[in-house]
Amino acid sequence: MSAPPLIEVADLWHTYMAGTPFEHTALRGVSLEVRSGEVVGILGRTGSGKSTLIQYLNGLLRPARGRVVVDGHDLASPRTDLRAVRQRVGLVFQDPETQMFEPLVGDDVAYGPRQLRLPADEIRARVRWAMDTVGLPFERFKDRYTFSLSGGEMRKAALAGVLAIRPRVLVLDEPTSGLDPGARAELRRRIQDLRDREGLTLVLVSHDMEEVARLSDRLYVLQDGIVAAEGSTREVFADAARLAALGLAPPEPVQVVQRLRALGMAVPGDALTVEEAGDAVAALLGARV
């Protein structure tokens, strides 16, 4: 008997501006689950319902139609302890650096734990852990001005602020967009460590297919407010025709392998990343990999 999922969404509907000429149904019966310790990627073109969906995962929105259960808390129930839900699920929005408001980095990261009215030494311990975990060493960065940080450092500080709440699930909306390739690669490594070393469960929303391929175990693809495809990352990216119909394309390394197969070449394996695709093509060409 497997443990119940950490997050369960069943037949969730959401309508914006109901009863007006601008009425728009953003979610039309979405069902998904997030199990403890996995990384779930959510894909879909702009307007497919991704941003609406993730606002349900920590109770920013509460279901009027459908079910959302987070670690045993039913979000439809008026008696649900929303504070408990928000301590379990941390949401990092797109461009989180625009939401930093304390002048010093350490204070900004401490904001969440202070709201929880934790003892001072516990707050300090959490801030130190969160900053060290994202790669902003506590001693070096706690007294830096937030505005003096680089783009990549600001993104890390915002992530640390959510981590300091010690959630079990972290929901990341476009975590590396707008960063340069070096900063992007580093932040991805940090995100991977959160799962591998800290045991966090992750929900990742991203337009960057390379990123999704590297980080996710399973994917859900939304289209017009419904789950149009789901499965393991390799399964979903393997079906290029289906993805194209959903306005997406697999990561370029996967496209390379698919093109070679379409040309009748027997590329071995189910490569997902640059390294895997390169090795598979080398093997095709007779190299011992």
Partner 1 sequence: MAEPLIVCEDVHFSYPASAGTEPRGRDAAVPAGPPVLRGVSLRIEPGEYVAVVGPNGSGKSTLARHLNALLRPASGRVLVAGLDTRDPAHTRAIRSTVGMVFQHPESQMVATIVEEDVAFGPENLGVPHAELRVRVREALELVGMWGARDRPPHLLSAGQKQRVAIASVLAMRPACLVLDEATSMLDPEGREAVAAIIAELRRRGTTVVAITHLMNEAARADRIIALAGGTVLLEGPPRAVFARADVLRDVGLDLPPVTAVALRVRSHVPGFPIDVLSVDEFAAAVAARAGRPA
Strand partners, 78: none
* Residue 274 within binding range of partner 1, rule CB under 8 A: yes
* CB of residue 130 to partner 1, shortest distance in Å: 22
Residue 198 beta carbon to partner 1: minimum distance, rounded to whole angstroms: 25
Select the residue interacting with partner 1 from 11, 81, 143, 180 (CB under 8 A). Answer: 180
Q: Give the H or E element holding residue 118.
A: none
Window of 71-79, 103-111, 204-212, 230-238 that interacts with partner 1 by CB under 8 A:
204-212
- Cα–Cα separations (whole angstroms), residue 141 to 13, 91, 132, 171, 201: 43, 23, 10, 24, 27
89 binds partner 1 per the rule CB under 8 A: no
Q: How far apart are CA 242 and CA 264, in angstroms?
A: 21
From the list 35, 45, 67, 195, which residue makes contact with partner 1 (rule: CB under 8 A)?
45
Query: Which range in 119-127, 189-197, 216-224, 252-260 contacts partner 1 by CB under 8 A?
Result: 252-260
What number of other Cβ atoms are within 10 A of residue 219's Cβ? 22
Answer for which of 4, 103, 137, 151 binds partner 1 (CB under 8 A) is 151
Q: Does 277 bind partner 1 (CB under 8 A)?
A: yes
Owner of token pair 């991805």: 188
Residue 260 and residue 131: Cα distance in Å, rounded?
44
How far apart are the C-alpha atoms of 66 and 244, rounded to whole Å? 29
* Residues near partner 1 (CB under 8 A), total: 48
| Spatial CA neighbour of 235 closest among 201, 204, 192, 272 | 272
What does the DSSP 8-state code read for residue 97?
A: G
Could you say whether residue 76 binds partner 1 (CB under 8 A)?
no
Provide the binding-site residues for partner 1, judged by CB under 8 A.
22, 45-47, 94, 147, 150-152, 174, 177-185, 207, 209-210, 247-249, 251-253, 255-256, 259-260, 263-265, 274-275, 277-279, 281-282, 284-289
